[in-house]
Amino acid sequence: MEYEPKYTVVLRGQEFILTKSQIEFDSPNYFTACFLGDFHEAQTKRLELSRSPDLFKLIIEHLCGYEVLPLDNKANTSDMSADSVLRNLRADALFYQLDGLVKSCDRAIKPRKTGRSFMIIGRRSPYTRILSNADSSSTISVEGLRWEKGYLKPGDVWVTTVTEDILNRMGQLQLRRSYADFEGLETVAAIEDFAQKAVGNYSKSGWTLMGWRFEAIPRPDDGSGQPGTKILIVLEGL
């Protein structure tokens, strides 16, 4: 059998032997750079590091071509939780430049649910001056909204919180980020003032304006009611 070069990796006093085929697995990486490059370790075939020897046992399994994820109880010989082992293994995979193992760790680390919440402020206003064009829900009269805010009293609005799933079913909103010119920012400021009058200093409580929808309420054909405006303002939790 043809001789295969061997290389020694020393981690906190513990020695590990790697073969050439192992260090070339998932390469280029830290080992190929050290042992097959122009570094001193290419001559000594010995590398000393202060990384975790326990995690390196999993690294060796990976370099042998074995699947090391998902982790089982036998693989965890330390006092760390399985989640900590996985995240520390990813850190070592980054250090050793093992791109394949990094990707495997990323797939195994379940993304944390953000649990995003949204505060909905609603009002059915009996006034139409809030919209500068009653036929367009996107054309807000800044002066009309300021006038509406001036007459706003406790109990004039309803407030609730919803999840992102519910928000996605609420229909299209005018998004704050779409209003970047002078007139747009003036509109944003007016809506922020209205929301603050309705629910208090929401930014101090961890909320920020996300979007809104203002809709004209037409007068019923039979003349039995009054026209008005539906106001819907959405705040996003930071």
In the chain, where the domains are located: 6-108, 117-237
Predicted local distance difference test score (pLDDT) of residue 129: 87
The SS3 of residue 120 is strand
Predicted local distance difference test score (pLDDT) of residue 75: 60
Predicted local distance difference test score (pLDDT) of residue 96: 95
Predicted local distance difference test score (pLDDT) of residue 100: 94
Neighbours of 129 (CB within 10 A): 14
Q: Which of 22, 25, 15, 24 is nearest to 48 (CA)?
A: 15
Q: pLDDT per residue over 139-189, tens digit each?
A: 889 999 999 999 898 889 999 999 988 998 988 899 998 999 999 999 999
Phi and psi for 191 in degrees, rounded to 5?
-70, -40
Report pTM: 0.52
Predicted local distance difference test score (pLDDT) of residue 206: 87
**H-run or E-run covering 205:** none
Predicted local distance difference test score (pLDDT) of residue 217: 87
Predicted local distance difference test score (pLDDT) of residue 111: 62
Predicted local distance difference test score (pLDDT) of residue 199: 92
Neighbours of 4 (CB within 10 A): 9
The fold adopted by the segment(s) 6-108 is Potassium Channel Kv1.1; Chain A (3.30.710)
Tokens of 211: 């979007």
Phi and psi for 126 in degrees, rounded to 5?
-80, 5
Buried b / exposed e across 144-179, counting CB within 10 Å, b at 16+?
bbeebbeeeeeeebeeeebeeeebeeeeeebebeeb
Positions of the chain with pLDDT under 70:
1-2, 73-79, 110-115, 133-138
Half-sphere exposure of 82 (CA within 13 A, CB side): 11
β-bridge mates for residue 84, sequence order: none
